[in-house]
Amino acid sequence: MSMKFSEFKRLLGAEPRSRDPKFLRARQSSPEFEAAAAMAEHFEARLEQSLMIPAPDGLAETLQSISQTAAVDSEHRRWWPLALAASVLIAVGAAGLTWNMNRGWDSVEEYVMDHYRHDGSRVMAMAGADKADDVQSILSELNVQAIPALAGIIGVIKYCPTPDGKGAHMILNTETGPVTVIYMPETQVTDRETLAFDDVRALLVALPRGSAAIIGPDQKLVSSLHGFIQQSIVPLAGKS
């Protein structure tokens, strides 16, 4: 039994590229059906063109790097009880020294995780609601300065080790809560690389001088700060 034109139009609108034999037979059954199918195909091509927006360059690599970070993270977690026990022993009389002397990070990602696990929570707890006094003096020693919009929300700042020398560890009092920023004056990173470890997300930011890691409770928050941080830590004149 042949298909009615109204039914054919309905199928054409629902699944224009159907391979169903009944549909394909109907398609060739008369010039009217063929014309309708040709028009639907034209529309479909345009629809496809509209929907198939380009994916960002390097997307697959970025996603693959997420797994590598998560793998490192799970490896860290697996050894965490032993590491904690060892660190308690070492910490007696030498608090922080072991970590500060550690220059053995294999990558900036490993450094960020190690650093944050070392004192991320402690520094976060130090931050008050008021802005820190010593922002520009610490940053100027690293040959950069914070623009006023950034300087005004830094609740705490302190020197810290980085893979390539001295840097700064800051807590920003943002509208959505405190966020950690680690400034690394001499370290180069892949801009916008993301890390996920423990219960935090981190985003690496390439800066005009050096780089920074933004660390916060969720990806949306840290991503939203990318442009702000990139434009707010600027080289001192003649020090780029």
Q: Which stretch binds another protein (CB under 8 A): 53-61, 113-121, 162-170, 207-215?
A: 53-61
Residue 229 sits at the vertex; the CA angle it makes with 224 and 234, to the nearest 5 degrees, is 160
Binding mask 180-219 for another protein (x = CB under 8 A): --------------x-x----------------------x
- CA proximity to 215, closest of 61, 103, 111: 111
Q: Which two tokens stand for residue 130?
A: 């008021």
196 in Cβ contact with 172 (< 8 Å): no
Contact mark string toward another protein, 58..97, x via CB under 8 A: -xx-xxx-xxx-xx--------------------------
Of the candidates 212, 203, 204, which has an alpha carbon nearest to the alpha carbon of residue 232?
212
Give the helix/strand (H/E) hosting 205.
Answer: strand 200-206
Q: Is 14 in the site for another protein (CB under 8 A)?
A: yes
Taking the complex as a whole, the smallest distance from the CB of residue 13 to another protein amounts, in Å, to 4
Indicate whether 34 belongs to the interface with another protein (CB under 8 A): no
Report how far residue 171's alpha carbon sits from residue 215's, in angstroms, rounded to the nearest whole number: 10
Q: Which of 4, 25, 42, 239 binds another protein (CB under 8 A)?
A: 42
Round to whole Å and give the CA distance between 83 and 61: 31
Residues near 179 by beta carbon (within 8 Å), at least 6 away in sequence = 171, 172, 214, 215, 216, 221, 222, 225
Residue (53 or 89) nearer to another protein, CB: 53
Query: Counting contacts by CB under 8 A, is residue 24 touching another protein?
Result: no
Distance between CA atoms of 116 and 180, rounded to whole angstroms? 9
Q: By CB under 8 A, is residue 39 in contact with another protein?
A: yes
Measured from the CB of residue 196, what is the shortest distance to another protein in angstroms? 5
- Binding segment for another protein (CB under 8 A), chosen from 52-60, 137-145, 152-160, 165-173, is 52-60
Min CB(184)–another protein separation in Å: 22
Distance CA 227, CA 224 (A): 7
Residues near another protein (CB under 8 A): 9-11, 13-15, 35-36, 39-40, 42-44, 46-56, 59-60, 62-64, 66-68, 70-71, 194, 196, 219-220, 223-224
